Amino acid sequence: MSTPSTVASGGPEGSRGPEGSRGPEGNTVKVAYDPAADLRALLLQPWVLVGRLISISWQLLALAVVLTVRGNSSDSAEQQRLGKRILTTLTNLGPCFIKVGQALSTRPDLVRRDWLEQLTQLQDNLPPFPHHIALATIEAELGAPVEQLFEDFPAAPVAAASLGQVYRARPYGGSWVAVKVQRPDLERILRRDLVIIRLLAVTTAPLLPLNLGFGLGEIIDEFGRSLFEEIDYRQEAANAERFADLFAGNPAVIVPRVDRLLSARRVLTTTWINGTKLQNRQELLAQRLDPSSLIRTGVIAGLQQLLEFGYFHADPHPGNLFALPGKTGALGHLAYVDFGMMDSISDHDRLTLTGAVVHLINRDFAGLAQDFVALGFLNPKTDLEAIIPALEQVLGGALGDSVGSFNFKAITDRFSELMYAYPFRVPARFALIIRAVVSQEGLALRLDPSFRIIGVAYPYVARRLLAGDTAEMREKLLEVLFDRQGRLQIERLENLLAVVEKDDSSPDLLPVAGAGLKLLLGPEGSSLRQRLLLTLVEDDHLDTDDLRALLALVRRTFSPRKLAGGLLAKLNPLAAAF
């Protein structure tokens, strides 16, 4: 097993395929998740179905009883024993249940910290499967024995997780690589357990205090589809290459390179990366790494994935993110691994989410309610008049005077209550998006409880909007600056500028001024110039009030003193102290 500061790029998760494939030429059939067909197949094997159902039910029931009886104990040693019991139960139940535990391990707001410490071991600290099976899988997939492919191949993996295990090896004439090998008989196990989990979920759903707006079966199906994508290493290789291309110009985000010649459906080989797990704050500090700068990189990279690229890493738990030395500005250097669980977001949803953040900045809760409708969280026929005050009550008070005061845990708790009181529902297509967001939130809470994600998200969106560097951002900017009657909303522009100015990591307004001026005077700003002219000319005469207010805002925000101070701080950081 590797030291805490040494990790294999690629992670131990992933891959897929029937056990019968032989050699890279045979790995062409894509096996898909089909719950109806899987159920029919399992019903034809009642001895398998009944035996496994009894085993799962008995273990979960026993765990539930123990947690109910002892869960309120104030004895820390007892709570640690309960955490170990949860870990053991999920590990014994197999890959599907381990995946559930991994999701819970990212939520310190939902799971006791002493239990959480045990659940984090589900990420890459599970028992490995026999080494000789891994060697046989490599030979079957790559068409040659290990000794012909690698100059140096260890006798044991450095990490093992729910779907596979990873080795640190060195090909002939090459550098060190991470070789990830799938667990044996994985497809059959997943199909069997997903059927049983779905049966249990659908059966017990009426007894559970849930208000999801749709059946638990849909959640299980989404989970199953993502799992079957995750266990195809050929797909993961393509995902990693696409992800690397998206961040090619960002030195703060590192992605391992795939070795296609040594990869197949159940084997994936990538460059090896030495880093520190984003799991323990003290370990990061011991390595002289800044947790806040690393969280900032993760948050901004996550926002780029959701709001710019429309393609995102859906499993950014601490076992899949590693800190590397160095910083680029206020951003720490972060390596992503394990690209088995990826997803896309439509352009419509992507732009609506951007608008929702802007509506939060401007405290426009009527607009936010419309965003919930557009995203499918509210039925279009829902009466929003009663919901708008509720949104303001839940979100408005938590925002406070500064975006830095936003508390995600408080919002999560209160918003859950709101979903019971009003007809909110979570669209199935948002399952992986929510997983990615809550994983990022859990990571931030673990490493730096004082870190405010929204304090990074707001300036990011505000800068993009004010720069208007894409047609969609320019359209969104017009939507923000002008109301439906075409009137200029000065206070909204002021809110956006204030958010950028209060960004501690990059308060320099010079780039914002330059981008805004370029947009206003350039060919892309024709619509903006036209709308400004129309709003300033009313009833055939010039409306000087709006013009004076706009000029006053520009003078206040972009005064020579502020711009010079920002430039001086950028050239000489010590000047900021004087």
Tokens read off for 500: 């950028």
* 188 and 231 Cβ atoms separated by less than 8 Å: no
CB atoms within 10 A of CB 299: 22
Distance, CA of 10 to CA of 338 (rounded, Å): 5
Question: If we measure between CA atoms, which residue out of 437, 430, 407 comes closest to residue 303?
Answer: 437
Containing 498, the helix (H) or strand (E) segment is helix 490-501
Instruction: Return all residues near 404 (Cβ < 8 A) that are at least 6 apart.
Output: 452, 454, 455, 502
Residue 336's SS3 state is strand
Judge whether 343 counts as a catalytic residue.
no
Q: How far is CA 532 from the centre of its chain?
A: 38
**How deeply is 189 buried, as exposed, middle or buried, from its count of CB atoms within 10 A (0-12, 13-18, 19+)?**
middle
Give the whole-angstrom CA distance, residue 431 versus residue 437: 10
Report the sign of the C-alpha dihedral through residues 430, 11, 238, 22, in that order: negative
How many CB atoms sit inside 10 A of residue 571's CB?
8
**Catalytic entry in 315, 343, 364, 503:** 315
> Which residues is 152 bridged to in the sheet?
170
41 closest CA partner among 194, 217, 225: 194
List residues bridging with 541 in a β-sheet. 538
Distance between terminal CA atoms of the chain? 49
DSSP per position, 239-281 = HHHHHHHHTTT-TTEE-PPB-GGG--SSEEEEE----EETT-H
Task: Using the Cα atoms of residue 197, residue 202, residue 208 and residue 212 in order, give the sign of their dihedral.
Answer: positive
- Domain limits of the chain? 1-274, 468-577
* pLDDT for position 17: 34
Q: Which residues on adjacent β-strands are paired with residue 258?
A: 270
Evaluate whether 230 touches 340 at the Cβ level (below 8 Å). Answer: yes
Q: Specify the pLDDT at position 403.
A: 43
- Residue 233 half-sphere exposure toward CB, CA atoms < 13 A: 36
Contact status, residue 227 vs residue 315, Cβ threshold 8 Å: no
CA angle 438–440–441, rounded 5-degree value? 60
Instruction: Give the chain's radius of gyration (CA, Å).
Output: 26
Distances (CA, A) of 313 to 96, 255, 342: 19, 12, 5
359-367: long-range contacts, CB 8 A cutoff, minimum separation 24: 360/395, 360/399, 360/458, 361/403, 361/458, 361/461, 361/462, 361/495, 361/496, 361/499, 362/480, 362/491, 362/492, 362/495, 363/392, 363/396, 363/399, 364/492, 365/389, 365/391, 365/392, 365/395, 365/396
Task: From 95, 94, 89, 126, select the one nearest 15 (Cα to Cα).
Answer: 95
The encoded tokens of residue 510 equal 């010079």
Can you give the pLDDT at residue 30?
66
- For residue 105, what pLDDT is reported? 67
Half-sphere exposure of 506 (CA within 13 A, CB side): 18
Quick check: 186 and 163 in contact, CB under 8 A?
Answer: yes
Q: Which two tokens stand for residue 46?
A: 């009642």
Query: Residue 83 and residue 102: Cα distance in Å, rounded?
Result: 13
- Structure token pair of residue 24: 């890279």
Query: Which structure tokens are listed for 3?
Result: 């030291």
* Number of CB atoms found within 10 A of residue 147's CB: 10
H-type alpha helices, 23-130: 35-43, 46-70, 76-93, 95-104, 113-119
Q: Give me the tens of pLDDT residue by residue for the chain, a chain 578 residues long.
A: 333 344 444 444 443 333 333 344 444 556 688 889 999 999 999 999 999 999 999 999 999 899 888 888 888 888 888 888 998 999 899 888 888 787 676 555 567 777 877 777 776 667 899 999 999 999 999 999 999 999 999 999 998 888 899 999 999 989 999 999 999 999 999 999 999 988 888 887 666 554 444 457 777 887 888 888 888 999 999 999 999 999 999 999 999 999 999 999 999 999 998 898 887 888 899 999 999 899 989 989 999 999 899 999 988 878 789 999 999 988 999 999 999 888 899 999 998 988 888 887 778 888 889 998 999 888 888 888 888 888 887 776 545 444 444 555 555 556 656 666 777 777 767 777 877 887 787 788 778 877 777 778 878 888 888 777 788 888 888 887 777 777 777 787 777 777 777 766 665 666 666 766 776 667 776 777 777 777 767 655 556 676 677 777 777 666 666 555 555 555 554 444 43
Tell me how crowded residue 112 is: count the other CB atoms within 10 A of its CB.
Answer: 16
